[in-house]
Amino acid sequence: MIVDYQNDFNPGGALAVPEGDRIAAHINSLAADPRFDVVVATRDWHPPGHGSFTEQGGVWPVHCLQDSDGAELAPGLDRAGIDVVVDKGQDPGTDGYSGFDGTNLAELLRERGIDSLTVVGLATDYCVKHTAIEAAGEGFGVRVERAGVRGVDVEAGDSERAIEEMRAAGVEIS
């Protein structure tokens, strides 16, 4: 599962994650690995006036507006390796950090016989964390690869704390 690997979260984007561009090669190599049955890419896909934006009292600048360039998957990502794109964050009243929040992701995975997930993408301390922890809560085996994630680190150490939270929720960190 490739979380929110979008232009706005890459360098130059509205909510750039430091070194976000550095993980593309690792993600692409995973996506091309035949041991994975399904490769899902989530997109943060917000309507105008989403509750997470500062203008609505949220904590983030406007980012990943539906159908904008910023919401497109970043060009470093090899689209050929992606089987399904799942859009999240469409409910204006929720953060929409998790790929499972307000989507059919859990059903989609179960229909395809998936019982374990490897999660990579952006950002470690928000959407990766929430997606991985919710996946574990849904009963999936979950692993996060450090080489395939980067964090925002609004406060120094946020990403490491997120890693520990995921581990405490039963997520394997490799």
Binding residues for Zn ion, rule: CB under 5 A, are 44, 89
By Cβ distance, which residue is nearest to Zn ion?
44
Nearer to Zn ion (CB atom), residue 46 or residue 171 = 46
* Active-site residue flag, 8: no
* Active-site residue flag, 87: no
| Given 44, 88, 101, 125, the catalytic residue | 88
How does DSSP classify residue 12? T
| Given 4, 8, 87, 95, the catalytic residue | 4
Nearer to Zn ion (CB atom), residue 20 or residue 89 = 89
Spatial contact of 52 and 96, defined as CB atoms under 8 Å apart: yes
Spatial contact of 111 and 136, defined as CB atoms under 8 Å apart: no
Nearer to Zn ion (CB atom), residue 28 or residue 53 = 53
* Active-site residue flag, 88: yes
Catalytic positions, written as ranges: 4, 88, 127
